[in-house]
Amino acid sequence: MADLADLTISEAGVGLRAGDFTSVDLLEAVTKRASMTEAQLHAYLTLDHEGAPTQALSADEMFSNGEDRGPLQGIPVALKDNMCTLGVETTASSRILAGWIPPYDATVVERLKASGAVITGKTNLDEFAMGSSTENSAFGTTRNPWNTDKVPGGSSGGSAAVAAVGSAFGSFGSDTGGSVRQPAAFTGVVGMKPTYGLVSRYGLIAFASSLDQIGPFSRSVSDSVAMLEIISGFDPRDATSINARVPEFGRSLAKGVSGMRIGIVSDFMNPDIIDSEIIAATRAMADRLQDSGAEVVEVALPSTEFSLSAYYLIAPAECSSNLARFDGVRYGHRSDFEGTTEEMMAHSRAEGFGPEVIRRILLGTYALSAGYYDAFYGQAQRVRTLVRREFATAYEHVDALISPTTPSTAFGVGEKSSDPIAMYYSDLCTIPSNLAGDPAISVPIGLDDQNLPIGFQIMAPALGEEVMYQVAAEVERLADFTQRPYLATSIEVKP
């Protein structure tokens, strides 16, 4: 029989309700998978060996009492380690927070627990979510389960890896400039960024507050819908939370794309910046969508050329403000340096922050400094406004936009770590949706000549998740992507 760890969330839910197995069985399956793969992957920072079994037993008890709290009840899922978890260490993969135990749960964690989900543990990330490869973690690099010489993407590389390899049935990451969609593309899973404000950021350790959003990783589009519906909704503790009824995102999953008008972003089909195999795969899928009844047209978004530059001024500026709280006084690492308070703070930050975080703090502080604010930060915000307007105008003529998710498939560990600009280009196709605040999703559509996954991105207007998922479901059906990572398929499954 197939290993339980290879089921989708919906398949596991059917089995739970039929009594074929229990939540405890599912947790044992993913824990066993983790024990067999973690030595190669290093995707988890913490496995909750106390809390998770208790949650699984509670979910089983609810089932036995006839209580059903929805599609995630009894399902083991993992969390990126920048979401606060009551009583469980939360580090954001930084030495400055090593050993910190939050006194509260993030809103997303509260909602998952209320749904009966089982939280397996906390996953590795680029420190404070700053990176595109999960090589910037203070606690070691995460590897790609398709090829352990490759990166899993970032910053949510740990969450992507556990969803791909089966050491969780799904997981959650945060997406500031592509940090869910890019690693989803690199690891062959579905990764989604919601409309800004749809999911509460309360309890998410902030990187760039006007860009951060929590989103799900899953092995199917329908699983992504189920996960998003659980965590969405208004939260008065987040001032940017949208105060509106949460729609049924999956209402149109089976409708197909006949009659829809879909725009392919020509700016992201340039062979000078996107690998030829990815362009070919994207064009082939666009043609298949057209064969399925959609009208596919070319759409130009010229301001996206400047999105990368604007993002790497806006995000570091916000991070320089947000990370000012880590000063060695209130919580986190404190230096043993004997001197003035200011000197102690400076030494605490120098010892606690890694080089990429320091680089971005310095860049952001410079962009906000007197004499440079208008030339850099102010100009970047004007570019952001242009990007928003171009997307809004495009959506007046098309229902959704499509493009590659990434310029390349997964690159080698260490290949770009010494070249920050090359690393930043990994998010070229994903950053514009963050600047606009619109939803976007990556769906795997095939493998390149190195047997590495290729991601296909679908974008939609703000609060257009239903349309986005409608197109994504058709892409998933057409791609029929059933391949699994090397690490998952190399495991011997006994009947």
- The predicted model gives 432-448 an average pLDDT of 98
For residue range 75-129, list pLDDT tens digits in order: 999 999 999 999 999 999 999 999 999 999 999 999 999 999 999 999 999 999 9
CA separation, residue 347 to residues 96, 205, 352, 418 (Å): 11, 22, 8, 25
pLDDT at 492: 56
Q: Are 113 and 371 in contact (CB under 8 A)?
A: no
How sure is the predictor about 1, in pLDDT bands with cuts at 50, 70 and 90? Answer: very low
For residue range 452-492, list pLDDT tens digits in order: 999 999 999 999 999 999 999 999 999 999 999 989 887 65
- C-alpha R_g of the chain: 21
Residues 6+ apart with CB under 8 A from 402: 262, 263, 264, 265, 282, 285, 286, 289, 296, 456, 457, 458, 459, 471
Domains present along the chain, CATH in parentheses: 4-256+436-455+464-489 (3.90.1300.10)
**Cα-to-chain-centroid distance, residue 293:** 31
CA separation, residue 471 to residues 222, 224, 260, 478 (Å): 12, 13, 9, 11
pLDDT at 331: 82
pTM of the model: 0.97
- Alpha carbon distance 165, 41 (integer Å): 9
**Cα-to-chain-centroid distance, residue 330:** 29
Q: Residue 382 pLDDT more than 70?
A: yes
Active site residues: 80, 155, 179
Q: What value does the mean pLDDT of the chain take?
A: 96
